[in-house]
Chains A and B, each alone.
Chain A
Amino acid sequence: MNVEELLRDSLCELAAEQRPAGPGYADRVLAARRRRRNRRLASVVAATAAVVAVAVAVPLLDPGKETVRPAGVLDKGGVHAHPDQSPPRDVIAAGQAVLAAYYRAEVEPQTDKRAVSQRTYWLLDPKTGKYEKDSRWSFVAVAPGLKTAAVLERSLPAQRIGLLDLTTGEVERWIPVERGVGGLAFSYDGSRLVATTYDENPDLRIKQKLIDLNEKETWMWGTEFGESSRSGFYDLDVASGEGHWSPVAPDRSIGSRQDFEFSRAGDRVYSQVIGAGDGLQQFYRLDGAKAAAPANEKGLRSDVPARLSPNGSLAALGLTKEVNGKPGKSYSSIRDPRTGKEITKVRGAHLLAWADDRRLIAWERVTGLNETYRPQLVLVTIGSDKVVPLSGVREEPAKGVDWDTWEPVFARR
């Protein structure tokens, strides 16, 4: 480690320790502004007798001459929509949620019977606001703040984790790992990384024969359910790269890739399990032992990525109602995370990320219920039936094309 790296780590650590400004901060600022304006107005009134004095005081009514706006910096408060782009070329964002990357997977045969579903990522360049293809990585997790991504090289499982500076496109630091890693996820505050370890490439595909109702045989690349090589996870401190590995007992009710993610508080990890219902999840302590779900995450679904709202008071759940029409309308459930009771329904078929405590980014259909499901990214608001298109319509790849459709990766600003 050199001085620059230590400096970077120290700044990140100091920043991460800061508690938020607290509720009502905006109102306190506005009140301070009103007081300041009143004082200045009073000074102007007092000086009306002297023209010169007025001439001096008036400019004070327009505080702040810093009108220079850096070019190419993202608008961090507003909505960036490109409803004509699928996959997107220019930044898509709403509130604190940014489409930080997307990927497409392609099946690459290795032998007659084995193949690997290889991902290729397009990463948001924060300077240009455009998505740029970066073929170096097989897995990318973007940290909150969109400055750093954790990356794995093409060959999985990987023996080192890269911390990629998204501004320069260069790896700032490598974290070597003894056990091969196949998946990564940041904690909610971005200070830690959970790295799921596998003995084999978790994206292996094997050739499988399907026999349809007409007894017609087709061959396709599929995963072998119940054959996951997942061995455990590393819990790593991003600043120092230090951490420990915890073994997790093999489980036959998981898919070949079943990555761990942190709970909101970061004191547990969870992953999806396949069982009686969709979106089931199993939590683990950080030493790898099975654990109960935290009280506020008990009712969540592992297949709905939005999970808890920023302030933790609402839980994003799954599709609950569909209304036919042109296009059809989907509604997902918003629940109290502690009681599991539905509070309301919000537009959207699949809730992906919270833009703020009232708005979410979701996939929503552009077709009727009797047509093929074709979605686009939209911004939905609790209490409103309005949807704001953010991306173009995602099309399924044509038959015979090995590329999957694009999958979004969201991060908080």
Chain B
Amino acid sequence: MDAEAQDSFREFVENRSSALLKTAVLLTGGDRHAAEDLLQNALIKAAGHWYRIDEPEAYVRQILYRQQVSRWRLKWRRRELTVAEPPEPGANPDAASAAELRLLMRGALARLTARQRTVLVLRYFEDLPEADVARILGCSVGTVRSTTHRSLARLRTLAPELTALGPQAADARPQPSRDFSPVEVRP
């Protein structure tokens, strides 16, 4: 990497690292340290190809998503995050304010598998269509659809207060506590 490429890399990181870090934090379920590691690895990989990258942000994001899913594949046994306060299944849904529900949702998100969380972040934070999520993660649209469905159901299982919400409540079905289905990753 020559001086010009380093300047261009610095400029990109200065401008975009905050936004990328936000995505990384969501992918890691709120674990800031893990998110910083994830982003640093992705940026180091991008730096190695800096001359050839036309769309640096798209490139780094793709590495973030795939790295997170691959990491899960390698370390699935340790994938569940310890959270200080597990959701309280007995709480009265009517009493839960919007802020409380968002906190419950965060706790539940942190307990999803990395793959489930990655799919939800891509669908509901990045707002990407299923086809784009499939392309980014290197899997089929059907896999994206079923993972999304299973992940939402799992959120309701982890935080039963959420089942009182909206028309999707009827979908809630008990899910196995862990999802051992294979991940299709083609890096």
A165 to B, closest residue via Cβ: B127
Nearest Cβ in chain B — how far from A222, in angstroms?
Answer: 42
User: Is the CB–CB distance between B15 and A70 below 8 Å?
Assistant: no
Instruction: Decide if A4 is an interface residue (CB 8 Å cutoff).
Output: yes
Whether B14 lies near A14 (C-beta < 8 A) is no
Docked CA distance A179–B70 (Å): 51
Is A33 a contact of B105 with CB atoms below 8 Å? no
Which of chain A's residues have a CB closer than 8 A to the CB of B156? Answer: 3
- Residue B114, interface by CB 8 Å: no
Is A11's beta carbon under 8 Å from chain B? yes
CB <8 Å contact, A7 and B127: no
Contact between chains at A6 and B102 (CB < 8 Å): yes
Bound form: Cα–Cα A70–B137 in Å: 11
Tell me if A64 and B45 are in contact (CB < 8 A): yes
Given A5-B166, A75-B54, A76-B56, also A66-B62 (CB < 8 A): yes
Known contacts A167-B129, A242-B98; A69 and B55 CB within 8 A of each other: yes
Is A65 on the interface with B (CB-CB < 8 A)? yes
Indicate whether B140 reaches chain A with its CB closer than 8 angstroms: no
A68 engages B62 (CB within 8 Å)? yes
* A29 with B125, Cβ < 8 A, contacts A18-B25, A76-B16, A77-B12 known: no
Asked if residues B21 and A73 are in contact (CB atoms below 8 Å), the reply is: no
B1 vs chain A, min Cβ distance (A): 8
Interface size for B (C-beta < 8 A) is 70
Contact of B72 with A by CB under 8 A:
no
A7 partner, pick from B14, B36, B57, B155, beta carbons under 8 A:
B155
Decide if B168 touches A2 in the complex (CB within 8 Å).
Answer: yes
Known: A14-B30, A29-B43. A356 touches B11 (CB 8 A): yes
- Distance (Å) between the CB of B145 and the closest chain A CB? 14
Do B166 and A356 have beta carbons less than 8 Å apart?
no
A: contact size bracket: 35 or more
B53 partner residues in chain A, CB cutoff 8 A: 69
Q: Is B132 an interface residue (CB 8 A)?
A: yes
**Which residues from B are CB-within-8-Å of A62?**
48
B109 on interface, CB distance cutoff 8 Å: yes
Q: Which of B122-173 contact A (CB under 8 A)?
A: 124-129, 132, 135-136, 138, 152, 155-156, 162, 165-169
Q: Point out which of B16, B19, B23 has the most chain A C-beta atoms below 10 A from its C-beta.
A: B19
Q: How many A-B residue pairs have CB under 8 A?
A: 177
B33 neighbours in A (Cβ, 8 Å): none
Q: Quick check: is A8 within 8 A (CB to CB) of the other chain? A: yes
**Chain A residues closer than 8 Å to B138, beta-carbon distance:** 68
A1 and B165 within 8 A (CB):
yes
Cβ-neighbour of A3 out of B14, B58, B152 (below 8 A): B152
Q: Are A167 and B128 neighbours in the complex by a CB distance under 8 Å? A: yes
Residue A277 at the chain B interface, CB threshold 8 Å = no
Give B1-54 interface residues, CB cut-off 8 Å to A: 1, 6, 8-19, 21-23, 25-26, 30, 32, 36, 39-40, 43-49, 53-54
Asked if residues A63 and B187 are in contact (CB atoms below 8 Å), the reply is no
List, in ascending order, chain A residues with CB within 8 A of B43's CB: 29
Does B79 interact with chain A (Cβ within 8 Å)?
no
Stretch of A20-28, A213-221, A326-334 contacting B (4+ beta carbons < 8 Å): A20-28
In the docked arrangement, what's the CA distance between A34 and B122, Å? 31
A11 and B26 form a contact (CB under 8 A)? yes
B66 within 8 A of A: yes
Say how far A333's CB is from chain B's closest CB, in angstroms.
Answer: 24
Given contacts A29-B47, A30-B47, A69-B62, contact A10 B32 (CB under 8 A): no
Interface residues of B (CB under 8 A from A): 1, 6, 8-19, 21-23, 25-26, 30, 32, 36, 39-40, 43-49, 53-59, 62-63, 66, 98-99, 101-102, 105-106, 109, 120-121, 124-129, 132, 135-136, 138, 152, 155-156, 162, 165-169, 187
> Can you list 9 residue pairs at the A/B interface with Cβ under 8 Å?
A6-B165, A12-B125, A62-B48, A66-B45, A67-B49, A69-B55, A70-B58, A95-B15, A413-B19
Binding site for B on A (CB under 8 A): 1-16, 18, 20-21, 25-30, 32-33, 36, 62-70, 73-78, 95-96, 145, 147, 165, 167-168, 239-240, 242, 356, 413
The 9 A-B residue pairs whose C-beta atoms are closest, nearest first, are A2-B166, A64-B45, A76-B57, A26-B13, A15-B22, A73-B58, A10-B105, A26-B10, A11-B125
> What 4 additional pairs, Cβ within 8 angstroms, besides A3-B162, A64-B46?
A6-B98, A9-B98, A20-B18, A242-B98
